Structure 1
Amino acid sequence: MNLKTLTLALTAQAALTSAAFALDPALPAYRPVGNLSGELKSIGSDTLNHEMELWAAGFKANYPNVKIQIEGKGSATAAPALVAGTAQLGPMSRLMNGEEAEAFEKKYGYKATAIGVAVDALAIYVHKDNPIQCLSEEQLDRIFSTDRKGSGGKSVDTWGDAGLTGEWATHPIAMYGRNTISGTYEFFRQQILYDGNFKEAVKHQAGSEAVVQAVANDKFAIGYSGIGYKTDGVRAIPVSVHYGQKCYNPSSDDTLAGKYPIARLLYIYVNKKPGETLDPVIAEFVKYILSKDGQTQTEKGGYYAINSEISASELQRLDTASSAK
């Protein structure tokens, strides 16, 4: 896989220090602007739900008169909410698809604005006792897909088919993933299944946490979910692009270096009319997320921080610096 989304969005990320979970020291600290009040509604990604809660709590510590409501059922709920005006913030774990973008532009006459807010290694989880050392993208396609567009060959149905021996060899692989309104579902389907179809046996879960919990409770299970949902009951295994090639972990080091092959940028969409500044409350919330304070919360939630160059680029593009004046 070529990491198209991550490569385009994170061209400067390699400049980050190699120490795990180390913030870019050049990220600016957030500076409150004084009294600020209002209400924000966020509707969208389940993957970003914990992050939104952490960012909201940190922001409200500066502005106790701001109320923030968060609803995280799936990325597919973000665009309709922005179009309808029932939310000001639309967290998504993928970019809007053509239909979603077209609906927004038809309503408002301009495109919705995507803000890169965090980096995710989409992890492949197995039970903590599973001895599998690595899986390739081709093997994952054969495990999850009925079409096997990206890999061809025989379906991988048992752990023996995946290379395990002994008691594992004859056990069928129990598969877990996200439901169809999830951006994670769509990202995995596009990147690993090459737009193919999931096997009917895949158990689609309503939330990212539910996927990880299901794998933790099933010794012979495999599932995919954001790295921010990792628990002690599962292992996030290394992944290679092709069978026999070097495997890389979904660690901060390998992800930010562009080596872990199933990585993505996470977004918040906003309705910003060209030539006009954002509403002050929205603008300051965005500034907080993109600051050192906000990105500290990003890492607390288990995801990986963007760097100062991306932060500055997003702020300049949104012109948030002048929006609160």
Structure 2
Amino acid sequence: MGDDAKITDMMPFHDSFGYMPTEISVATGGYEKRGSLWAFAVVVSKDNPLNEISVDELERIFGAERSGGWQLANNDYLFTSRYARGPEMSIRKWGQLGLHGKFTDKEIKTFGYSAPGFAIYIERNWFHWSKKWNPNFQEYVEEKQATPDAAGAAVASDHALETIGKDRYAIGLAALMHVKDHPDLKVLAISRHKGEPAVALTPANVANRTYPLIRDAYFYVNKEPGRPLDPRAREFMRFVLSREGQEIIARMGYYYPLPADYLREQLKKLD
């Protein structure tokens, strides 16, 4: 159980069994609480006029050109040029997002977590498992993860968020629990695709899964294609996905229970 499995976790399983493990979501990650697989906030300085952005645009800002990506389908993993994109698809200037005046030709400076779970989520959901990032991407960590000296302070979250707040040309991916300590930051609303309605980062929008940058808690089970899941595993998973199981998850205070329609999708994976 955990957040997104790395593709390198899945490959040995496939090599051993000849098929991929079955991924089953059991809970929606939290809003901002530490340890809750909190949703990602996208932040800019309050001096930046941008108020919303799409996931498509974020991929083009934080990612880079790539020759392809991994496709996980039909119980296999295969590399394909279907997910290739050239440098002309990258967004590197604020003018490419429709900002004018002093912003038009200014470089977009990117910030984000160095934590493995952060990178895995982005590489899986945005980059098709490519590890090619914007060359100017600046990594940072929580204060407790940095060395207790000036060199550590330079890459700690407080310093990074303070830098973004003072630099109208910067954009960062962050935890809301840290952002709230920096009043000079603005949290952007997010849409999945440009032109679609953007959704604010709120507890309700995380719980109902309309905010695009949520995370899931998963179980990975060994289910051979065309054959039923082991009865004991199936019984356990059906309990976790039952009303009682979801209520237990909610009472923990870290995760949100799954909405009914999404929960039904997970139950179908057990058959």
Report the TM-score, using the length of structure 2 for normalisation.
0.55
Tell me by how many angstroms 1:244 deviates. 2.8
Question: Which of residues 22, 45, 51 in structure 2 aligns to 1:133?
Answer: 51
Q: Deviations over 1:37-61 (max 9, x none)?
A: xxxxxxxxxxxxxxxxxxxxxxxxx
Tell me, yes or no, if the aligned pair for 1:176 and 1:205 is still in contact at 8 Å: yes
Greater RCO (Cα-Cα under 8 Å, separation 6 or more): 2
1:115 to 1:129, Cα distance in 2 relative to 1, 3 A: same
For 2:216 and 2:102, the matched residues in 1 are separated by 39
1:115 to 1:201, Cα distance in 2 relative to 1, 3 A: same
Q: Name the residue aligned to 1:116.
A: 26
Q: Name the residue aligned to 1:69.
A: none
Q: How well do the aligned residues superpose, as a CA RMSD in angstroms?
A: 4.9
1:224 aligns with 2:173: yes
1:182 aligns with 2:137: no
Task: Report the residue type matching 1:116 in the other structure.
Answer: V
Q: Name the residue aligned to 1:173.
A: 108
- State, as a whole percentage, how many aligned pairs show the same letter: 19
For 1:240 and 1:118, the matched residues in 2 are separated by 18
For 2:22 and 2:195, the matched residues in 1 are separated by 42
Tell me, yes or no, if the aligned pair for 1:126 and 1:216 is still in contact at 8 Å: no
1:100 aligns with 2:9: yes
Tell me, yes or no, if the aligned pair for 1:121 and 1:251 is still in contact at 8 Å: no
For 1:140 and 1:310, the matched residues in 2 are separated by 25
Tell me by how many angstroms 1:195 deviates. 4.0
1:142 aligns with 2:60: yes
Tell me by how many angstroms 1:200 deviates. 1.7
Q: Structure 1, unaligned stretches of length 5 or more?
A: 1-89, 278-286, 319-325
Tell me by how many angstroms 1:215 deviates. 4.6
Question: Which of residues 111, 126, 135 in structure 2 aligns to 1:200?
Answer: 135
1:265 to 1:153, Cα distance in 2 relative to 1, 3 A: same
1:162 to 1:223, Cα distance in 2 relative to 1, 3 A: same
Q: Name the residue aligned to 1:261.
A: 212
1:250 aligns with 2:201: yes
Q: Name the residue aligned to 1:91.
A: 2
For 2:64 and 2:207, the matched residues in 1 are separated by 32
1:112 to 1:131, Cα distance in 2 relative to 1, 3 A: same
Per the alignment, in what secondary structure is the counterpart of residue 216 of structure 1?
helix
Report the TM-score, using the length of structure 1 for normalisation.
0.48
Instruction: Report how many residues are paired.
Output: 220
For 2:194 and 2:25, the matched residues in 1 are separated by 35
Task: Report the residue type matching 1:217 in the other structure.
Answer: E
Tell me by how many angstroms 1:199 deviates. 1.5
Deviates more, 1:130-139 or 1:303-312: 303-312
For 2:194 and 2:262, the matched residues in 1 are separated by 33
For 2:260 and 2:5, the matched residues in 1 are separated by 22
Task: Report the residue type matching 2:2 in the other structure.
Answer: P
Tell me by how many angstroms 1:260 deviates. 2.8
Paired residues for 1:1-325 under 5 Å: 91-92=2-3, 94-97=4-7, 99-101=8-10, 103=12, 116-119=26-29, 120-147=38-65, 149=84, 153-179=88-114, 182-196=116-130, 197-206=132-141, 213-218=158-163, 219=165, 220=167, 221-225=170-174, 230-233=179-182, 234-267=185-218, 292=247, 295-298=250-253, 304-306=256-258
For 2:107 and 2:247, the matched residues in 1 are separated by 46
Tell me, yes or no, if the aligned pair for 2:249 and 2:256 is still in contact at 8 Å: no
Task: Report the residue type matching 2:162 in the other structure.
Answer: N
For 2:88 and 2:205, the matched residues in 1 are separated by 29
